[in-house]
Structure 1
Amino acid sequence: MHLSERILIVRDRIQKGRSRMKREEFLNTLFENIPNYTKEEQEEIRQYYEELICDGVEAGLDEEEVISRLESPENIAFSLKKEYKEERKAEVSVVCDSSDDYTSSQPVAHAVISARDRGIALEPSEDGRVHVHCEKDEIDEIVCYEKEGMFFFSHRSKRRMHFFGGFSRVDSTIKVQIPESVMQAELSTTNGGIRISEISKPEMVKAHTTNGGITCNDVRASHVELISSNASVKCEDTKVQTICMESTNGALRLKDVQADEKLVAHTTNGSIHFEEIDAKDIQLKTSNASIKGTLRGKGTEYAIESGTSNGKNSLPSKWNQSDSAAKRLSVHTSNANIKVAFEEM
């Protein structure tokens, strides 16, 4: 592009303003007035105005003169915030049925639910919509919106009940219902448990919590991830492709859990007990606690690796390490016993 053409473009884009300032002062003032923008959004804005200023300098103007012909940073911020509010209005299309109920208004493929100091219960929805029931009081903050097939609900509490002895006057469990159209469900909380029941067809179900237990019952999904700390994780009557159960200082319990591919159960200082579990690749690991239970199938089907210290082990340390083995089993603990039996179904 010829210099004369660039001059015309720059002059068309630059509007007369009221202030004379250096580039950094201009940008800093602008960003002070748009604090809600993310770092990525601010970087995009910075690049735009730096390129605009550079174009003006290359067109023969000095930096302060270019900036003086721009709108003031306060006016630019006002326009940007107006656009930001319009975008947020487009996002926040969730129907609030009452002060405590939230319902999706369009098809949802991805549901994200997060909370603080609350439990979460996930169940199926019968009407094809996502529903969230969250009783709240004056110190709770709720953000809820949907955008491009994603439903997002976030609960935050200013209460510090675990340290100051406060008690809530409302039902502490957030009740969530999702339809079969939801392909991915993510649940996370702190200081609260998570309960998942009768969910079918999603590609992914994730449940993460701290200082709270997780129970998963009657779930049919491609992938399930259940992670907690300082509490137990339980799973029953569940059929998946892969499942990962993890905890620290908490027990793991599995009953009638089947995985087409991989089943991983890891914890520390907590026992792992199971009944009638089955997968092509089973990995069970803990420390300072026992591992015991029954696996579906014959022991000869498995390539086995196992080990413990200061405890008894019913499994061989190594068995059938051939690549032709139909299934793989890894079982390890320390300072405790391993007792695993096989049952033909």
Structure 2
Amino acid sequence: MNKGVKTVLIVAAAIIALGVILCAAVIIFSHEDLKDYRGRAYTYEEYVFDASLVRDIRVKDSNRALKLLPADDRNIKACCYEAKDDYYDISLSDDGLLEIIRVEKKRWPFGISLFDLNVGDDDLTVYVPSGMLEDITADTSNGSISYGAIELSGSLRLTSSNGRIRAEDLTAGGNIYLTTSNGSITLEAVTAAGNIFAVTSNGRVGAENVGAEDIRLESSNGSVTAVDTAASERLLIDSSNGDIKVENIDGSEIELSTSNSRVSGSIRGRMSDYAIISGTSNASNNLPNGTDGEKRLVVRTSNGSIDITFTDG
């Protein structure tokens, strides 16, 4: 291929790429253009249910942000935009299970839709009265999940891929499970009578004012931070290639583990309260080994320092 032909091909490719970028920009900044381009006429819909008839909620969504927020009355309300071939199958069973499942009929070959983008009010928002339900389960892909100020007598399970998860002002009578990939997890003012698990890959985990029987905060390729976080039994914080930072944490058994990063912060009580196992390679460690406390503390890292203090000296 001679130099002239190669130059023409490079210029043509650049023009095509610029055209795609400009087209995407127009779509992103004009919601109506998105609807018209996809050939879908979207309308705003609200579905309302008497919460006294609902025991559990299960949501299955994709490519949209999901918000679970407190209602200002005793009704459950699902708010969304729908089209003829992109809608939600919503049903309430006789035993009180409310299901909200997205149904999207792809119009592109091989099930690929180039312009399935999260834009503003395309989000699914579900308003739930606090303290009236047992369990909530929500699962989405390529979208974030926000959950706030809804008390449950049972358990909460939030799962996403390629999206962040945020839960705040939450009390659950059972367990709380938050799982995502390629996204962060944030917990603020969250308590559970059972266990709390927050696990992600390629994202940070942050917990503040969190309490449960067992707590597990885990990330790969992301930092983990825990502030005012206490487990009546076991507190496990684990990361690979990410720092662990703790402040005023507590637990009968505490384990802090990472690789290629440092572990630092403060733990409630005295050093003598804990039987300590600690170790690092190629860095400093201010913890001893072999003390005889009733609680157990394990701190491990490689290629990172350990700097832990105790609130009571």
TM normalised by structure 1 equals 0.61
Aligned to 2:186: 215
- Structure 2: segments with no counterpart, 5+ residues: 1-43, 135-153
Cα distance change of structure 1 residues 331 and 105 upon mapping to structure 2, 3 Å threshold: same
Following superposition, the deviation at residue 294 of structure 1 comes to 0.7
Following superposition, the deviation at residue 283 of structure 1 comes to 1.4
Aligned to 2:157: 186
Residue 268 of structure 1, aligned match among 218, 227, 240: 240
Cα distance change of structure 1 residues 210 and 327 upon mapping to structure 2, 3 Å threshold: same
Cα distance change of structure 1 residues 151 and 238 upon mapping to structure 2, 3 Å threshold: farther
Aligned to 1:232: 204
Distance in 2, matches of 1:163 and 1:344, equals 58
Distance in 2, matches of 1:278 and 1:202, equals 21
1:283 aligns with 2:255: yes
Aligned to 1:338: 306
More strand as a share of residues: 2
What amino acid does structure 2 have at the position aligned with 1:329? L
- Structure 1: segments with no counterpart, 5+ residues: 1-97
What amino acid does structure 1 have at the position aligned with 2:117? F
Aligned to 2:62: 116
Contact 2:229 2:248 (8 Å CA) reproduced: yes
Cα distance change of structure 1 residues 314 and 193 upon mapping to structure 2, 3 Å threshold: same
Contact 2:283 2:304 (8 Å CA) reproduced: yes
> Helix, strand or coil for the counterpart of 2:180?
strand
Cα distance change of structure 1 residues 212 and 316 upon mapping to structure 2, 3 Å threshold: same
Following superposition, the deviation at residue 127 of structure 1 comes to 3.9
1:168 aligns with 2:91: no
Aligned to 1:25: none
Residue 309 of structure 1, aligned match among 281, 293, 296: 281
Distance in 2, matches of 1:163 and 1:284, equals 43
Distance in 2, matches of 1:326 and 1:138, equals 63
Larger radius of gyration between Structure 1 and Structure 2: 1
What amino acid does structure 1 have at the position aligned with 2:259? S
Contact 2:63 2:118 (8 Å CA) reproduced: no
Distance in 2, matches of 1:125 and 1:220, equals 20
Following superposition, the deviation at residue 235 of structure 1 comes to 0.9
1:198 aligns with 2:169: yes
Following superposition, the deviation at residue 192 of structure 1 comes to 1.1
Contact 2:48 2:75 (8 Å CA) reproduced: no
What amino acid does structure 2 have at the position aligned with 1:167? L
Residues 207-245 of structure 1: CA distance to partner in whole angstroms, max 9, x if unpaired? 111111111111121221111111111111122222111
Contact 1:245 1:266 (8 Å CA) reproduced: yes
Distance in 1, matches of 2:246 and 2:221, equals 17
More helix as a share of residues: 1
What amino acid does structure 1 have at the position aligned with 2:307? K
Cα distance change of structure 1 residues 337 and 218 upon mapping to structure 2, 3 Å threshold: same
What amino acid does structure 1 have at the position aligned with 2:176? V
Distance in 2, matches of 1:123 and 1:259, equals 26
